[in-house]
Each structure stands twice: as structure tokens, then as C-alpha cells.
Amino acid sequence: MSQLDDKVAVITGGAQGIGRAIAELFARRGAHIVIADINLEKAEATAQAIAASTGRRAIAVKTNVADSASAQAMADRAIEEFGRIDLLINNAGTTRDNLIMRMSDAEWDLVLGINLKGAFNCSKAVVRSMMKQRSGRIVNISSVSGLAGQAGQTNYSSSKAGLIGLTKALAREVGSRGITVNAVAPGFVPTDLTSDILGKMKDEAIKMTPLGRLASVEDIAYAVGFLVSDEASFITGQVLSVDGGMVMQ
């Protein structure tokens, strides 16, 4: 029996990339899955594939995490379908890289709205039910860019650094109800989101990484899997860097 048996996990941005890897891992470990994604077609395909390969229930819910009403509707649907929410992975994210002198208000607002406000919206939407059941796990997907900064990413780095502050503050708020809140800070992971930047600096990124390779989506998923497990029940308010040693603090 897996310790995630019959847990209900919401993964934002779960249709592809890191989010999909997390959803697949959780389902293999026994959880039922809610794929919350702006791209409903991809989310449905992912949910169907997970259900077929694992035998777990998996649903797709079209969700714009930057919109609080959409986030609340997603949480309501999950509770309606499964009766509870045990795990929330705030993974949805985007980039709009530019030098600050060229960065538009729209580029700033879009990235902060999805990456940071999205995590706020979804956490707010699920935390009431977690507090009532006196248990829950929230994991926010931050980034090495939120720890060390990255030129041309003032919006992205700010959003990911903000996620760390959100993680620590929320961990203090809900700890007495048996809810843990942690963050994972990946290094460079080849996904659709990072394809442009890695296309230009893949070799440099590998040189900057003591372990001498890029991360896989599975590397990130396994770290998240640990933080939602019983073994991590006394860990909260922490940031786990999964970056091959790129950023050491």
C-alpha cells in the first residue's frame, strides 16, 4: 500500500512538463489527480493517460490561476468530485524574459499574475478545506532564479522569490492545523517553458552545475513527492533546491 493511496492531489499547470511528471508520480503512488490547467485539451489528454496507466481517478479542470474566481471554481470542483483536497502543488508558471529597460507592464503583470498571484489564489481556495480536515500538504514550485536572480528575468525572478516568502508566511499561518507548506527550487529543466532560454545557454547551464547535467522533470517530481510524504511531516516553511548544486546557500 502506498502512503498516497486515495489522497486527492491538485496540480496546477499539470498538463505537461514538471506538472505532468508530478501528477504521474502521485498517481503511481495511489493518489487521485486533478489536473488544473489553462489548456483544457492537453489537461484532458494527460488525465486520461494517467487514469489508463495507473487505474487512479484523474480529472481535468480548465483553470486560469491568475483569476481568483477560476481558482475557487477549480477547488470547488475537486471537492465536489472527490470530497476533499489533500495535496496542492502550485506549479503553473510562465516567462516573458526581457531586459528591464525593455520590459513592458504587460510582461511584468502577466508573469507575476500567474506565477505568484496564481499560487496565492489556489492556496486560498483550498486551505479552508485543509484546515477543516486538519491535514494537508502544499508545495510551491519556485526556481533557482528566485534564489540567485537571473539577468533578463526581473519579472520571473521576482515572482519566484515571492513564492518563497509566500511559502514561509503560509507555513506559519496553517502549521497548527497539521498543514505543511514548502517550496522546491529547480535548476534548469528542459521543458517547453525553458526551451528558448536553454537553446541559447544549455552548455553554460551545464558548466554552472556541479553535477554536470540538467535536471529531468522526474528529478523535480521525486523531490515534491518527498515533501508530501509522511516522512516529511515535520518539514515546513523550507525551500529544497533541486539544481545539481548550481545555487548553494
Report the catalytic residues.
156
- Give buried/exposed letters for 102-114 (b at 16+ CB in 10 A, else e): ebeeebbebbbbb
Ranges of H-type helices in the chain: 17-28, 40-54, 68-82, 105-112, 118-133, 144-148, 154-174, 195-207, 217-227
Cell of 9: 492531489
Which residue(s) pair with 141 in the sheet? 184
Query: Taking a C-beta distance cutoff of 8 angstroms, is the pair 215, 189 a contact?
Result: yes
CA 42/CA 36 separation, integer angstroms = 11
| DSSP string for residues in 64-131 | -TTSHHHHHHHHHHHHHHHS---EEEE-------B-TTT--HHHHHHHHIIIIIHHHHHHHHHHHHHH
Query: Taking a C-beta distance cutoff of 8 angstroms, is the pair 156, 111 a contact?
Result: yes
CA 62/CA 84 separation, integer angstroms = 19
CA 201/CA 97 separation, integer angstroms = 14
